Amino acid sequence: MAVTTRVIDRARRDLDVSKEIARLYPDATPFAVILMKARKETTQTNYFYWYDSELVDWWGKVVTAVTTGGPGDEVTISVESNSMFRPKDLVKVADTDEVLYVTEITSSGGTDQIKAIRGYEALAAGATLTNIPENAQLLILGNAMEEFSSAPGSKLLQPTKGENFTQIFRTPFDQSMTSTSEKLRTAETERNRLRRDKAIEHRLAIERAMIFGKPYQDPNEARNTTGGVLHFIQDQKFTSNSTFDEDVFEDFCEKLFTHGSDKKLLICSHKVGAAINKFAKENIETRSGEETYGLRLKQYKSFHGDLFIVPSRTLERAYQGLVLGLDMKNLKYRPLSTRDTTLKTNIQPNDADGWRDEYMTEAGLELRLPKTHAWMNIDMSDWTVDA
């Protein structure tokens, strides 16, 4: 009579391996490892969102040169944006040292404007004023209120909403029972070898999505894709017409460290990392794993801040010139609750003459305050491209 076995059913189980997969060969996918270990927060739904709040800017810019008006005269000034100005503000023209007193916020033909009294501070009657040039920088010094005054107009910025989806990543691997039964010359089983190698492959797929992915929810199927770093920081591109060298790199650092923390990650190809090491080796030191997310990383000390250099195999071939500067305080890896990286064992049909396992993850990326990050794309046309 037929005998029914339930051994395969009993062997089916899910093993939480999110920590183990992060420890396995971390140098192969350092960015994914850092996200998984250092900046993880679960989400309860496959769609998640956040709000970013920024300070009101205190710098403005003149659009059209001002050639009229003397001390005490009210003039209309076209500015790039008038959102940061309010009546009774004192504004210093950085190019000429003149101080303006704002009286009104206006607009004309779609151009933002302010009305202001010229030469308001410390200029005697009859003094002459220099023209305010086009693109002159305007620094808001704060407001100047009269005695027993009412409160001035408020300056408020609405929080900016960011949103993303979790994406399902699956990496299966299997073996027939015939192959499993064969004797091997190596010490480890084929199953253990595949578990190790496929863990790296799975993590590489996650890292690529966290860099290059775009958020999308398929209207016809229950499928989401997650947005990566580049999707959120497109407006933070640094460009230079000069050959990549230490001066260009320092200019990039200046842009990168304008906002956010004074310690950031630099994700780059091994070629770019080697170039940085060549021209800036005196400013580079190796930090131990305990100090840098459990990895041994090179630290570049610039005038603007410290960079931990993370060479990634994800940035190869067409993307070997891509350089990402990231503020880890404003990045999070967001796995769906109970859906962080899991090794699912024996998922084959009951009558299959073999076994099948798979790694499964459902996760997305949260990137906040895009201005705290930056990127550039180095021209690699004169470099030898990897085969």
CATH of the domain at 353: 3.90.1690
Stretch 355-370: mean pLDDT: 95
More confident residue, 43 or 17: 43
Between the ranges 181-195, 270-284, 361-375, where is the mean pLDDT highest? Answer: 361-375
Question: Residue 72: which H helix or E strand, with range?
Answer: none
Name 92's bridge partners.
Answer: 99, 139
CA distance readout (Å), 298 to 199, 286, 291: 25, 5, 11
Q: Residue 149 carries which side chain, given as an amino acid letter?
A: S
Stretch 7-24: mean pLDDT: 55
* 385 assigned to some structural domain: no
* 202 assigned to some structural domain: yes
* 203 assigned to some structural domain: yes
Q: What's the pLDDT band for 159 if we cut at 50, 70, 90?
A: confident
Domains held by the chain: number: 2
Give residue 7's pLDDT.
42
**Are 239 and 300 within one domain?**
yes
> Does pTM surpass 0.75?
yes
Give residue 23's pLDDT.
52
* 129 assigned to some structural domain: yes
Domain boundary among 143, 176, 191: 143
Q: Which of 23, 35, 29 is nearest to 313 (CA)?
A: 29
Q: Is 259 helix (H, G, I), strand (E, B) or coil?
A: coil
* 386 assigned to some structural domain: no
* 383 assigned to some structural domain: no
Residue 163: CB atoms within 10 Å: 12
Q: Which of 209, 231, 232 is nearest to 370 (CA)?
A: 232
CA distance readout (Å), 195 to 24, 79, 163, 326, 344: 11, 61, 33, 31, 11
Name 167's bridge partners.
Answer: 363
* 382 assigned to some structural domain: no
d(CA 371, CA 255): 9
- Compute the mean pLDDT over every residue in the chain, rounded to the nearest whole number: 85
**Are 229 and 362 within one domain?**
yes
**Are 43 and 171 within one domain?**
yes
**Are 46 and 64 within one domain?**
no
Domain boundary among 143, 173, 189: 143
CATH number of the domain bearing residue 118 = 2.40.33.10
Fill in the DSSP letter of residue 165: E
d(CA 134, CA 63): 6
**Are 175 and 309 within one domain?**
yes
CA dihedral of 365, 369, 370, 374, whole degrees rounded to 10:
-100
**Are 49 and 89 within one domain?**
no
Query: To the nearest whole percent, how much of the chain has pLDDT over 90?
Result: 56
**Are 38 and 181 within one domain?**
yes
Sequence-distant (6+) residues with CB within 8 A of 293 are 33, 34, 37, 38
The per-residue pLDDT for range 96-144, each reduced to its tens digit, is: 989 999 999 999 888 999 999 999 876 655 567 899 999 999 999 988 8
d(CA 250, CA 276): 11
The per-residue pLDDT for range 261-284, each reduced to its tens digit, is: 999 999 999 999 998 988 887 788
- State phi, psi for 63 to the nearest 5 degrees: -90, -45
Query: Residues for the chain: how many in total?
Result: 387
The tokens describing 210, both together, are 């966290």
**Are 294 and 197 within one domain?**
yes
Q: What's the pLDDT band for 385 if we cut at 50, 70, 90?
A: very low
**Are 131 and 266 within one domain?**
no
**Are 167 and 212 within one domain?**
yes
Give residue 291's pLDDT.
62
**Are 360 and 259 within one domain?**
yes
The CA angle 246-38-13, to the nearest 5 degrees, is 135
**Are 65 and 121 within one domain?**
yes
Q: Containing domain of residue 361, as a range?
A: 7-53+162-377
Residue pair 254/374 in contact by the 8 Å Cβ criterion: no
* 155 assigned to some structural domain: no
